Amino acid sequence: MKSTLQTDLPTNPVIAPTTLFLQVSEQGIRLPGEKVNYWKNATQSLIKQLEAFQIDKSSVQVVEIEIVHPAFLLVPNAYNDPLYRMAFLEKALGENCMDGVEMHEQSCSLVESTMLFLVSSSWKDQLSAIFPLAKINYQHILGNEIQKAKLYIHPRIHIFLQESHAYITYFQHGKLQLINVFPYEHELALAFYLHSIRDAFNIQWNQESIRIQGPDAQNQELIENLIRLNIPLA
């Protein structure tokens, strides 16, 4: 659990955490690396999970939320004008995209852009009820991945698999070439999409060029099938 917590007491990080990291998606709320707390019983389930790790939620001052959801749009800063943002979102996500949601933005300075993403109002209400005294910050999984990309030495497709969606970024020569989310029903569709990226960007196909993470990446059958379909994972 040390990887999920940030604390002012490094000798005993579980007892008095000041910052808590959570992932939020259509399924529910998840401590990174732990089982999901489904929305239907998310409040009681998450509190029990925190208690199991000896975390007193009243001591949490900041909650960092990572949104894993396909409702996002990366806008170059030159076009990130409040007058046009809504039009961009409606064009990309549909004219009713703002129903029941709130828009958040995340600076992606590495690519001189801003990540616009939508968060369900009901999710925010439930999180506020669980942590009424904490400051809650929202970021998007792909916005966070972009900021990590400066650490990449070689061209790399990074894929985060969760809830039958592949969240994908591809950097080449230090520049973002692709950011997308691909819904898939089976490994054949996912493999076909990844091979299309390889062909489009003329990628040297090896284990250095692709990295898969996320809860669904723990599905051994899925990984074995992707390897069988010539995705270089092992």
pLDDT band at 234 (very low <50, low <70, confident <90, very high): low
The percent of residues in the chain predicted with pLDDT above 90, rounded, is: 71
pLDDT given at position 190: 96
The pTM score is 0.87
Q: Is 149 a residue whose pLDDT tops 90?
A: no
User: 152-228 is classed in which CATH architecture?
Assistant: 2-Layer Sandwich (3.30)
The pLDDT of residue 84 is 87
- pLDDT value for 57: 87
The domains spanning 1-146 and 152-228 adopt the same CATH topology: yes
What is the crossing angle of helices 121-130 and 42-52, to 10°? 40
The CATH T-level fold of domain 1-146 is: Nucleotidyltransferase; domain 5 (3.30.420)
Among 146, 101, 136, 102, CA closest to 29: 136
| Chain mean position to CA 38 | 17
Looking at residue 156, its pLDDT comes to 81
Residues facing 169 on adjacent strands:
158, 179
pLDDT in tens, 91-138: 999 989 999 999 999 999 989 999 999 999 999 999 999 999 999 999
**Which sequence spans correspond to the domains of the chain?**
1-146, 152-228
> Could you report the per-residue pLDDT of 8-31, keeping only the tens digit for each?
434 444 445 589 999 999 999 999
Give residue 151's pLDDT band: very low, low, confident or very high (50, 70, 90): low
Q: How far apart are CA 175 and CA 141, in angstroms?
A: 18
Contact status, residue 112 vs residue 77, Cβ threshold 8 Å: yes
